[in-house]
Amino acid sequence: MKNRNKTIQLNNQDKQLSDNLIHLSQKTGIAAITNKIIHQDIFSAIPYLPNGFVDLLFIDPPYNINKTFKNNTFRALSDKEYEQWMESWLAPLLKILKPNASVYICCDWKSSAVTYNVISKYLKVKNRITWEREKGRGALTNWKNCSEDIWFATVSDDYYFNPDAIKTLRKVIAPYRQENGKPKDWFKLKDGSAYRLTYPSNLWTDLTIPFWSMPENTEHPTQKPEKLLAKIILASTKENAFVFDPFLGSGTTAVVAKKLNRKYSGIEINHTYCLYAEKRLQKAATDKSIQGYEQGIFLERNTKLKTLPLKNNHLFTLNRE
């Protein structure tokens, strides 16, 4: 029987992927870190990073909960302590940003206010995205925790944002026709249903947390979906821009940057996670697919374009009325 579990596994051969990792012990130029993973503690790496090279900084730090990342355990702190900890790496990291850079920081509801407090001291806060985790953590005495936040901030008011690159295909429940009978901003696909291409809001309900049947899945306990990173990278950078992630984990940011022709670098303290990231990057050299993003369009959760067959492979030539 075909193995349906697509989780990426490391084997003995993958140990040689260590050769690609770098460690910073002196001031470094941009070329030396471009498309490289820095395997070390964020605090020992920051002093050696170059200045002013990053277009997009994506940060997915350990949240303020007890969590073990391999042999590295993060213990929940008081709000004040978490705020101080966050500031202790964010403030010195800001030197790597270009004057028109964008920054996204992930958090859960508990650390969202603290995260806002820290970033609003140093950056211009533009928005807070809330996204639905399909798999919520159940609780009998509280509401199930099913969402996370991502704060979006910029260095200045001069920043890049391209909403046309992140349009989403959505089913229209009540397709409206104008007086002349023509559809108002919708079209029919071959399945007979009405759809619209919309600009996404700051509420994202189309994401799936990586799990065993997804080819991007690894054993990392808090891996972000590639689709989430694709939205952020496409909205906030042009091709060839530099994307940096100081808590790289299993490498999602770097992998999606590579698939979308951006430069990348990132820091990760754990060696095994670095190897997963390298293995995913190796795969991304030939496989540019991003689940949920097809032909330049983001799809609703768990849908594929093949279920909505397109004439000549082009959305706009389809049954348009």
CA angle 125, 128, 131 (to 5 degrees): 155
Q: Rounded to whole angstroms, how far apart are CA atoms 91 and 57?
A: 13
* Cβ at position 184, least distance to ligand SAM in Å: 39
Pairing of strands 242-245, 263-268: parallel
Contact between 216 and ligand SAM by CB under 6 A: the answer reads: no
| CA atoms of 28 and 47, how far apart (whole Å) | 9
Stretch that binds ligand SAM, among 22-30, 152-160, 242-250, 257-265 (CB under 6 A): 242-250
Q: Which is nearer to ligand SAM, 132 or 219 (CB)?
A: 219
Contact present, 153 and 126 (Cβ < 8 Å): yes
Among 154, 168, 237, 252, binds ligand SAM (CB under 6 A): 252
- 291 binds ligand SAM per the rule CB under 6 A: no
Nearest partner of 241 among 54, 97, 75, 82, judged by Cα: 54
Output the smallest distance, CB 281 to ligand SAM, in A: 13
62 part of the interface to ligand SAM, by CB under 6 A: yes
Site string for ligand SAM, 4-23 (x = CB under 6 A): --------------------
Q: How many CA atoms lie within 13 A of 27 on its CB side?
A: 3
* Terminal C-alpha separation, the chain: 45
In angstroms, give the least distance from the CB of 98 to ligand SAM. Answer: 22
Q: Are 299 and 293 in contact (CB under 8 A)?
A: yes
Q: Is 292 in the site for ligand SAM (CB under 6 A)?
A: no
Q: Is 222 in the site for ligand SAM (CB under 6 A)?
A: yes
Q: What angle do CA 173, 175, 179 make, to 5 degrees?
A: 160
Task: Centre a 10 Å sphere on the Cβ of residue 199 and count the other Cβ atoms it contains.
Answer: 10
- If you search the block for the tokens 């990342």, which residue do you land on? 69
Min dist CB 171 to ligand SAM, Å, is 29
Q: Is 249 in the site for ligand SAM (CB under 6 A)?
A: yes
Stretch that binds ligand SAM, among 11-19, 76-84, 176-184, 261-269 (CB under 6 A): 261-269
In angstroms, rounded to a whole number, what is the distance separating the alpha carbons of residues 90 and 244? 13
Is 237 among the residues that bind ligand SAM (CB under 6 A)?
no
Taking the least distance from each CB to ligand SAM, the nearer of 249 and 292 is: 249
Nearer to ligand SAM, 14 or 170 (CB): 14
